[in-house]
Structure 1
Amino acid sequence: MTDTKSATRKADAGGQGAAPEIKLDGSLSSFLPGLREDPAFADLVNDGRGVSLVGAPLGIRPALAAATGEGRPVVMVVPSGRDAEDMVGSIRSWYRGNPADVDMIPAWETLPHERLSPRADTVAQRMSVFHRLAHPVEGSDLFGPLKIVVVPVRSLIQPVVRGIQDMEPVVFQVGQEMDLSQAADRLVENAYTCADLVMDRGEFALRGGILDIFPPTAPHPVRIDFFGDEIDSIKPFHASDQRSFGQGQERIWAPACREIPLNQKVRRRAAALVGSIPNADDMLESISQGIPVEGMESLIPALIDDVMPVYSLFDPRAVIMFCDMERLRRGADDLTKTANEFLAASWHVAASGHGAGAPISFDKSNFLDFSEVHRSLELTHPATWDLSSLGVDPSADGHARLAAVPPDEYRGDESKATSGIQALRERGFAVAVTAAARGTLSRLRRVISSTGVSGVDFRLSLASDGFIDDKAHLALLTERDITGHSSVAAQAKTPKRRRKAIDLVELKKGDFVVHEQHGIGRFVEMVRRPVRPVNTRIRGLAPSSRGAAGHDPSDQAFREYLVIEYAPSKRGAPPDRLYIPTDQLDQVSKYIGAEEPKLNKLGGSDWSQTKAKARKKVKEIAQDLVKLYAARQRTQGFAFSPDTPWQRELEEAFPYQETPDQLTTIDEVKADMEKPIPMDRLICGDVGFGKTEIAVRAAFKAIQDSKQVAVLVPTTLLAQQHFETFTDRYEGFPVTVKMMSRFQSAAENKETIEGLRDGSVDLVIGTHKLLNPQIKFKDLGLVIIDEEQRFGVEHKETLKALRTNVDVLSLSATPIPRTLEMAVTGIREMSTLDTPPEDRLPVLTYVGAYEDTQVVAAIRRELLRGGQVFFVHNRVQDISKVAAHIKDLVPEAKIGMAHGKMGEKQLDNIIHDFWHRDIDVLVCTTIVETGLDISNANTLIVDRADRFGLSQLHQLRGRVGRGWERAYAYFLYDPAKPMTQTAHDRLSTIAQNTALGAGYDVAMKDLEIRGTGNLLGGEQSGHIEGVGFDLYVRMVSDAVQDYKESERTDAVATTVDLPVEASIPPSYIDSDKLRLEVYRKVAAAQGEEDFQEIRDELTDRYGKPPQALDLLFAVARLRSRAKAMGITDLIAQGRNIRVVGPDPQESVLMRLKRIYKTVQYRPVTHTLIIPTSFQGSFDSDPMDSKQVLEWTDLLLDDLTWRGKKA
């Protein structure tokens, strides 16, 4: 950046004092009285009967609806769901009453006959609106009457189950008496799913007197604590760690999650239909048991007697406004056509006798004819207006025209808009400028005020379009009118679930596990075994004679064990089995690796050799990491200045709500930049989780200090995407952004290189070409590297050299495991973005046999909404044949082809065309698996999906669903070819986990292995396979700690096995999976603070812990103490206890022999055999669990005896 430019920047950034203030209340209602100056507006608001066609531009419609809605109900029909959302926000900005009086009936994202369900929150919002329309309760904050309802045409023409409006939501209120099992029955009827752990909307879990529930309309799940039958408290909790937080709530309501009531009548009908509908038996059986299943809505015609039109719920006094009749009619026709195609395709596939047609009549669910709906509404409502943006002749009968016109001549031209505002003010117009994001409004205010225009009203609101009204002498200009685009309102919407802090490892029979000492085995089962022998014989007493004085000796103490099978020690022998007490679960992890491992033999040497090799390699890595870190610490870097007012303005103009992770990461990056040591930070997060915005802000901060920024990307497409993002975000600021790639001419690239040398280019985006030694920067301050792992070795070396003297920010879409992140803390700064962005919807996933009709219907449906399709076929040999076949099936579609055997240039051009929407269907190999971010491609079809791995399927599915639209993924297999069991399991896993659920965790692990390789070097994969991923990461962590604390001694593995009932009773936590999670946490606890934390969490999640759990904590404390003393075994054997570990001093041994008469010491094996009183004797009772632990604790005191102090 040149010095003059820098000076201007500093001056402008500092002085903005004179501009008028921004009104933050978000309301435009104060302008409504002025609009009544337009007689046509006033007549419509006051009556409007007899009017059928109204000339009203888009911008004034929300004002018309808001003003009319003050006197009578309004229903506004709009072409799409996005229009409906925009309209609701705009109307609320104009409306004088409670914003909750305005709502919309969202449309399903699925078609009526698809075997895919609409989202639970969509259904819940629909159900709440239906209930409020039919049963309004005056003065209620939950069920108050609706004044204005916005309806997308799709919702208007889709019939609903008759009586749906009478399905009562379940309301929970503090102090209310409610039978817990009845509440659970009501939730099941409202289609909630009973789960072990509440993670997703529409789930509930019952544990003793605690009910966890996630109502689809609530921002967080809630924990309802019952005291007997009375609700004691309602508290929100985080799905990620299951801990409650914040203030309690007075009440929560749980609307239905599905539009079929799962009542007895529906269940009986489902049971009766089993066997009569092809491919639907699984669904029908689940429904008959009251379990909601994916796609059950497609069976509405078979399960429900009658349906009704949505408009039968509208208030008969309501004014009906149809927005843009032609668009509505076209949208309704397209929908009906697509739905019919889909019905034919999906039931053609489902009916086993190909072409047999639908097995039952589906007419009931069909979309209604739009013209008939329109006619019915005209007959039943006093005022029905068609609002048109086209010219309307007000003198014709039944026609009216508002004086407002759209400010189209300014759109996208800020200087024209500014001079237009000046002219309007001179003519005496009131002018208001509005935007949804505060930073954008600040920028517009600065631009407009700098030209000397005064008296303009700046308001923060959700109005999306403006108008100029000659009669009312009023002009409203929105961000879209002035800049040509609009930001999304920064509303704090429902936070999505973060990546789980609870690592639930579901162990199934046959899963491979790794034991740190014994190696790789196979999980068999979890068993409860008695640990205390019955010993009533000595006393000669009947078991009942002890009464309440202590434990009945016939009460056996139980403990839970994991049974693991190892390779047999001799050929032909049965496998060896190992019983591992659950308090030692920190030694065990699920084996995660790409290949199936070989089982180790118990006591064999192969495991210790594998471990030694891996450990050696890990030490080298840790050493490299520490060296690089030390070199950076010694270098003097540039300390950037604190944020300027412009920085704040740029950040406030961000069109979305930042996620909490984003805010934390941005703060961390800025803090690093302001230090005099060069920054080296890695940011991990999936595509679309907000990494680019962090880069935008960091780069801007560097440019504010007159430094240059280089953004390095692996592909030309990414360069193009980043270039558009950076240019868009820096609009209105004096920042020069350039791009260097093959899509620029040689002359353009030469000019950019010149600009970098003389400082006139502030930021350059390019591929590895930027690393060319010929390219010189005037003053490079920050390098941003996107997807560093995709650069070659020689490029990485260049980057390594850069790291020691400029600030480096690396971005990666491959996740890095938490454990590893903790391991390298303080050596490589790292930030993780775990929270998905707000509007990211789960991808609707269909798994089924390949059929041409299904493929045609899926492609046409996507093309109808203006979208694009990925068709993945992973065999290069016949990919052109497949592309030609699709061209025959869908001749109107533009087909492109991409695969790895193409030249780089040709591939770039194809991807470039696809991104610019010149290709409708891209037939490609898994080349699309990573890095592509094309938000308009929202249908994925995978041919022969049975040939892909689980994480590949997840990665592919992640390519779609990046935009606002609902995305679809079709995983198809060849019905003529037999499928392996593994392939079948993979496809069923992917079908079940449409959200970020358990299957996501499996894929996450697979990706984390990749992430680990990227961070530590690719040659690690062999070692990771050898010892399993979790243990490998633990080794890295230990090695790094060793380098950081050279005095550290290696911790020993300690086994404690005493006759103590240290377990979690199934009556407290009945799910094996959740019990395992708690055992793992207790085993890994490091000290008293950890134990207290776990105890608090258990009390929060499950209620007061029972005594057996306190004993589990006591055993864990004892184990922790023994470990610190170097003891490896503390095991009860008959009447003795075996202690293996440190050799006792002579004085200690003599003392032990005095106290425990028959003690034996074996120096070769470092073993003490000490007699115990656990089983009692002729004159004493057997010890209970608490006494056993106290006795053992005293024994440890004796082992550490140092003699009396003088």
Structure 2
Amino acid sequence: MQLLYQTISKLKGFKEWFDTLTLHESQLVLGLSGSVKHLAESCAFEKLDKQLVIVTPTLLQATQTYEELSEWYDDEVVHLFPVEESLAADFSVVSPDVVSQRIRTLDFLSRGEKGIVIVPLSGIQKLLVPAAVWKKSSIELAMGSEIESMDAFVEQLVELGYRRENMVATPGEFALRGSIVDIYPLDQEYPLRLDFFDTEVDSIRAFNAETQRSMDVINEVRILPATDLPLQKEAVWKAQAKIHALYEKDVKAAQSEERKDQVKNIQQAIDAQLENGEIPSNLTYFLECIYPEKTSLLDYVSKDAYLIIDDYARFIEKSKTLEEEAGYWKTHHIETGAIASGLSLVQDGRKVLKESPLSRTYLAIFQKGLGRLALDAIHPITTRTMTQFFSQMPMVKVEADRWKKQGATVIVLVDDAKRAQKVEQTFADFEIKSVISNGTILEGQLQIMVGKMHNGFELPEDKFAILTERELFNKLTKRAPRNQKISNAERLKSYTELAVGDYVVHVNHGVGVYQGMETLEIGGIHQDYMSIHYQDGGNLFVPVSQIKLVQKYVSSDAKVPKLNKLGGTEWAKTKRKVTAKIEDIADELIELYAKRDAEKGYAFSRDTVEQQEFEQAFPYTETQDQLRSVAEIKEDMQKDKPMDRLLVGDVGYGKTEVAMRAVFKAVMDGKQAAVLVPTTILAEQHY
């Protein structure tokens, strides 16, 4: 992409902007959208050679910008700070992946390294802990390093937002067993196992959360917080009087005794937790009391960082909308007593940007509707959306002839060198003159180059154009892999789908009735348990860590099952009968598979070019499990033994994508393929 950066930087409209980036405090660039805008932002970053912060009106726009820039830069360079646009969503349970992205971004900014940070307006509005507090909110350990004491270390982990559990299973948890501390940082692929000799770190290893087995040895590690709002206990305790006073004010202003009692109860609950040294779960509402300086993301960036504020007209509209929605949400929660009045839950994003001393460029399509901006320079750039050709090569030839007549420089971006040769041949078949780039950009020619871009564009005044395979052949840009942690998802699904009163089966105790989740304290540790009711009033409490021992009872005839008795012999007898039946079925299967193994099948040929093109046309990047399944299926199909495989996966995890690859392979060898489905509707949907 460096070639493109160098070329774009020399074009008239862009050059004027880039040459004055460090000279003017405030500029406006008009006319950019889509990939040409993202390319211009990348060029600005290359020119500046320092931290660049791109602010977008919405989270969707921030995500789109991040996805395209991530195609051109490493993960260490491009960072996203995702914040929901609704206060209700951001103050509720946020996914670990989102929190992890925020943590990595804050950590990156606090180190002062060069890179790009993309943040929506909602992220600028978000209140954060002071940057100085964040810099202290990490733990660096190495083999042989010392900690103050185990108690102090555990307290430090709690301050950083980690939850203590009996066994580490998900990110954000830690567990203590003698001299061993297991921690699952949000930014790590695997949890960490720290073994101490008294207060000295004896070993650091990664381990598998499923098997709990240790893996690779690690020499040193930096443990980041498990939350984007790490709260120091000392600061929280100092704020206790302020929080109490806020609720006291609301108690006095209450219009009824019922309202007064409601606020008092919440006030007393928070006071009690703080006095016991606990951090209340809703304490993030009171961040202004704990850290009155009102810190935003811009307080984390380098002093010489540069701002690009995208789509400023929409930015103004979105700012007003977010302000109104935040006001409604705050009013409702004050009325219910969930939060105290007089608190600022978010900041005014436009005000934060206005008061920031950072130099900036505003981006907009038109100059109208931007309000009163103090600008040092305005740079209008004329761009044109690239025509969608949909594989109509005669249309491509007409356009190519027009560009040739103008002497325009045209670049066709393809995924790899193989595709470059294929596209060159396609052009040649339709008498479209083209060359494959040899590492330079040839002015006035149509050339094919390996590179990635979401959509093409034309700069008519500069006689420059970029096409992608999306415009030429309607080839979709593959999206990022879907983040799937199937084992955790299955575990969570098995108990969250249960409703009180559902019949369940415990592998050791038999059929019972699910009574819900209960939190019990055992040995000073709080943990969630499933409560299962059995015959004669027996109750069994199953820890969440043993959830695999429990399954939901399923019956084809909806028959109500008979409950088993805890400690009884009936369930053991049932299991013995089932075991005997399974052995009979196993004998039948062995006989069947022996016959099948002796059968001669059809050996399909290896993948063709058409097969590869078919697979590349799928919009999603394949997951590792999909790639493994496809490889195994193809390997079986290429043997002269009949294939018999079961492909298992939840709804939406890409089973059909895998199956269609096998279907295509069969058809390309001149064989028929049948897709059997249980209903007519499903058949129509597949068709």
User: TM-score, normalization: structure 2?
Assistant: 0.73
* The one of 265, 268, 284 aligned to 2:235: 265
Q: Are residue 58 (structure 1) and residue 72 (structure 2) matched?
A: no
Alignment of 1:729-768 (within 5 A): 739=687
**Deviations 1:926-967 (CA, angstroms, capped at 9, x unpaired):** xxxxxxxxxxxxxxxxxxxxxxxxxxxxxxxxxxxxxxxxxx
- Residue pair 2:162, 2:225 contacting (<8 A) in 1 also: no
Contact conserved, 1:86 with 1:464, CA < 8 A, in 2?
Answer: no
Q: Secondary structure of 1:409's match?
A: coil
Cα 1:126–1:287 shift into 2, 3 Å = farther
Answer yes or no: is the 8 Å Cα contact 1:188–1:291 preserved in 2.
no
| 1:496 aligned onto 2:466 | no
Distance 1:373 1:244, change over 3 A: same
- Is 1:234–2:234 an aligned residue pair? no
- In the TM superposition, residue 414 of structure 1 has moved relative to its aligned partner by 5.4
Q: Is the 8 A contact 2:505 2:553 kept in 1?
A: no
- The structure showing larger relative contact order (alpha-carbon pairs under 8 Å, at least 6 residues apart) is 2
Residue 173, structure 1, aligned to residue 173, structure 2: no
AA aligned to 1:168 is S
Q: Describe the superposition over 1:521-540 as per-residue Cα deviations: whole angstroms up to 9, x where unpaired.
A: 99xx9x9xxxxxxxxxxxxx
The question of whether the paired residues in 1 share the 8 Å contact of 2:389 and 2:473 is answered with yes
Selected match of 2:657 from 681, 687, 693: 693
Tell me by how many angstroms 1:365 deviates.
0.8
Contact kept, 8 Å, 2:412 with 2:449, in 1: the verdict is yes
Is 1:67 the equivalent of 2:46? no
Aligned to 1:47: 20
Q: Report the counterpart of residue 83 of structure 2 in structure 1.
A: 107
Is 2:174 aligned against 1:207?
Answer: no
* DSSP-derived class of the 1:297 partner: helix
TM-aligned CA distance change 1:111 to 1:445, over 3 Å: farther
Deviations 1:397-418 (A, max 9, x none): 9431235x23332365553456
Q: How far did 1:388 drift?
A: 2.3
Q: CA deviation at 1:419?
A: 5.2
Q: Distance in 2 between matches of 1:513 and 1:441?
A: 58
1:338 aligns with 2:325: yes
Correspondences of 1:677-688 after superposition (within 5 Å): 677-688=641-652
1:167 Cα shift?
4.5
Runs (5+) with no aligned partner, structure 1: 1-27, 136-142, 352-357, 528-564, 569-573, 576-587, 723-738, 740-1206
Conserved 8 A contact 1:55-1:391: no
Residue pair 2:274, 2:280 contacting (<8 A) in 1 also? yes
Q: Deviation digits for residues 1026-1066 of structure 1, max 9, x if unmatched?
A: xxxxxxxxxxxxxxxxxxxxxxxxxxxxxxxxxxxxxxxxx
CA apart distance, 1:165? 4.4
Contact persistence 1:53–1:399 (CA under 8 A)? yes
Secondary structure of the 1:51 match is strand
Amino acid at match of 2:58: S
Instruction: Give the structure 2 partner of residue 361 of structure 1.
Output: 341
Matched, 1:401 2:380: yes
Residue 318 of structure 2 aligns with an amino acid whose one-letter code is G
Residue 454 (str. 1) matches residue 434 (str. 2):
yes
Distance 1:461 1:373, change over 3 A: farther
Per the alignment, residue 154 of structure 1 pairs with 122
The one-letter amino acid paired with 1:153 is L
* 2:51 matches 1:87: no
Segments of structure 2 that go 5 or more residues without pairing to the other structure are: 248-261, 370-374, 438-447, 496-503, 514-519, 523-532, 539-547, 555-559
Spell out, residue by residue over 1:880-919, the C-alpha distance to the aligned partner (whole angstroms, 9 max, x if none): xxxxxxxxxxxxxxxxxxxxxxxxxxxxxxxxxxxxxxxx
Q: Is the 8 A contact 1:109 1:118 kept in 2?
A: no
Q: CA deviation at 1:151?
A: 1.9
Matches within 5 A, 1:381-460: 381-388=358-365, 398-403=377-382, 405-410=383-388, 412=390, 415=393, 416-417=395-396, 420-421=399-400, 423-424=402-403, 427-434=406-413, 447-448=426-427, 451=430, 453-457=433-437, 458=448
In the TM superposition, what whole-angstrom CA distance separates every residue of 1:441-478 from its partner, at most 9, and x where no partner exists?
88766755654542244555453233323465543223
Q: Which moved more, 1:297-306 or 1:66-75?
A: 297-306
- Structure 1, residues 670-723: CA drift from partner, whole Å, max 9, x if none? 23322334333221111122212211211121122122323233456644654x
Q: Which residue of 2 aligns with 1:1024?
A: none
Q: CA RMSD in A?
A: 4.7
Query: What amino acid does structure 2 have at the position aligned with 1:466?
Result: G
**Aligned partner letter, 2:15:** A
Q: 1:196 to 1:641 in 2, by over 3 A?
A: same
8 Å CA contact retained: 1:158, 1:368: no
Aligned: 1:187 with 2:157: yes
Against the structure 1 CA distance between its residues 277 and 150, is the aligned structure 2 distance closer, same or farther, given a 3 Å change threshold?
A: farther
Q: Is the 8 A contact 1:157 1:368 kept in 2?
A: yes
Q: In the alignment, is the contact (CA less than 8 A) between 2:436 and 2:449 conserved in 1?
A: no
Residues 1:189 and 1:643: Cα distance change in structure 2 (over 3 Å): same
Aligned to 1:863: none
Counterpart residue type for residue 63 of structure 2: E
Q: How many residues align?
A: 609
Output the CA distance in 2 between the equivalents of 1:61 and 1:484.
21
Using the alignment, how far apart are the partners of 2:627 and 2:158 within structure 1? 39
Query: Is the 2:112–2:301 contact (alpha carbons within 8 Å) kept by the matching residues of 1?
Result: no
Give how far 1:640 is off. 1.5
Do the aligned partners of residues 488 and 202 (structure 1) sit closer, same or farther apart at CA in structure 2, a change above 3 Å counting? farther
Aligned counterparts, 1:569-580, within 5 A: none
2:317 maps to amino acid: R
In 2, are the aligned partners of 1:437 and 1:655 still within 8 Å (CA)? no
Task: Spell out, residue by residue over 1:477-511, the C-alpha distance to the aligned partner (whole angstroms, 9 max, x if none).
Answer: 234444557434557x97736359999x99xxxx9
Distance 2:683 2:343 in 1: 50
CA distance in structure 2 between the aligned counterparts of 1:297 and 1:343, rounded to whole angstroms: 14
Match of 1:467 among 428, 433, 457: 457
User: Aligned partners of 2:174, 2:427: CA distance in 1, in Å?
Assistant: 53
Alpha-carbon distance in 1 for matches of 2:615, 2:217: 30
CA distance in 2, matches of 1:305, 1:461: 48
Sort the Cα spacing of 1:284 and 1:241 in 2 relative to 1 into closer, same or farther, 3 A.
farther
Are 1:408 and 1:481, in contact at CA under 8 Å, matched by a contact in 2?
A: yes
Per the alignment, do residues 631 and 52 of structure 1 end up closer, same or farther by CA in structure 2, a change over 3 Å counting? same
Q: Percent of aligned positions with the same letter in both sequences?
A: 26
Q: How does 1:483-882 map to 2 (within 5 A)?
A: 483=473, 486-489=476-479, 496=485, 498=487, 593=553, 598-600=563-565, 610=574, 614=578, 618=582, 621-622=585-586, 625=589, 629=593, 632-633=596-597, 635-715=599-679, 718-719=682-683, 722=686, 739=687
Residue 52 of structure 1: SS of its match in structure 2?
Answer: strand
Q: CA deviation at 1:217?
A: 1.8
Distance 1:490-1:418 versus aligned 2 partners, 3 A rule: farther
> CA, structure 1 residues 302+480, in 2 after alignment: closer, same or farther (shift >3 Å)?
farther
Instruction: Give the C-alpha shift of residue 663 in structure 1.
Output: 2.6
**The residue matched to 1:711 in structure 2 has which SS?**
coil
* CA distance in structure 2 between the aligned counterparts of 1:293 and 1:418, rounded to whole angstroms: 67
Deviations 1:787-814 (A, max 9, x none): xxxxxxxxxxxxxxxxxxxxxxxxxxxx
Q: 1:487 corresponds to which letter in structure 2?
A: T
Seen in structure 2, the aligned counterparts of structure 1 residues 444 and 200 have a Cα distance that, compared at 3 Å, is farther
Question: For 1:601 and 1:359, how far apart are their aligned partners in 2?
Answer: 46
Q: What's the secondary structure of 1:646's corresponding residue?
A: helix
Relative distance call for 1:435 and 1:77 in structure 2 (3 A) is farther
SS at match of 1:676: coil
